[in-house]
A = this chain, B = another copy of it.
Amino acid sequence: MTTTTQGFATIQQRDLVNQIADMLTEALLKGDFAPGVHLAEAQLARDFGVSRAPVREAARLLESRGMLVSQPRRGFFVRTFNADELEDVYDLRLCLERHAVRLLAGKLTDEMEAALTHQLEKMRQVARDGTAVQQIEEDVAFHRMLCEFSGNQRLVRVFDELCHEMRFCILLIGQLYDDAMRVADTHEPILEALRTRSPDAGEAALDYHIGVAQQRVMEMFRERAKR
């Protein structure tokens, strides 16, 4: 890691593709583009002041993340979500995290427990004084830890993909956390079950926690869809 090589560098010539992908992602999450709208390569290229090639690649990247879809000869469009798709995402997420918790219950180390406890504390902190975006990020970070500590890296990758989609939906809905502190608290039972190394209790706690979140999101989504 920290070899004696100079500490500078490494930040300079970062790919245009990644920069563009990041900007596009941000713009999408901020809601600058309505779902279903057509993204013209040439237009974006002009906006970013680059040629179409890197824009194209960035768009492909976002497509693989499920934030854009492409149609042959027609180009890229902002991904639209319907209630069923959103439900699938949450269902799959539950499937993954259940598995993660089950694995984790059998191998939880003190370091892991400390990290999770610390993360929960962080959630409570931003629940007091933090933005909605921060609250969502810290929440996601907790769940991501569960996946990461499970030891299955492939599972983490899928979880990350799902998170992209969930963020996309959630920020598309508007705010979500009316009582962030209570939301933070509902993570406690999961951690508690892990502390006792009980897979079943962990799974049950998770079922309840994610079930509530899903119900809440779905409700707001359906309500919003009416307009």
Contact = CB atoms under 8 A, between A and B. Distances in A.
Interface of A: 14-15, 53, 56-57, 60-61, 64, 72, 85, 88-89, 91-92, 95-96, 99, 152-155, 158, 162
Contacts of A14: 72
Nearest to A72: B15
Contacts of A64: 60-61, 64
> What is the predominant secondary structure among interface residues of chain A facing chain B?
helix
Contacts of A88: 152-155
A89 B158 CA distance: 11
Contacts of A72: 14-15
Contacts of A85: 153-154
Given A85-B154, A88-B152, 5 more contacts: A60-B60, A61-B64, A88-B153, A88-B154, A95-B95
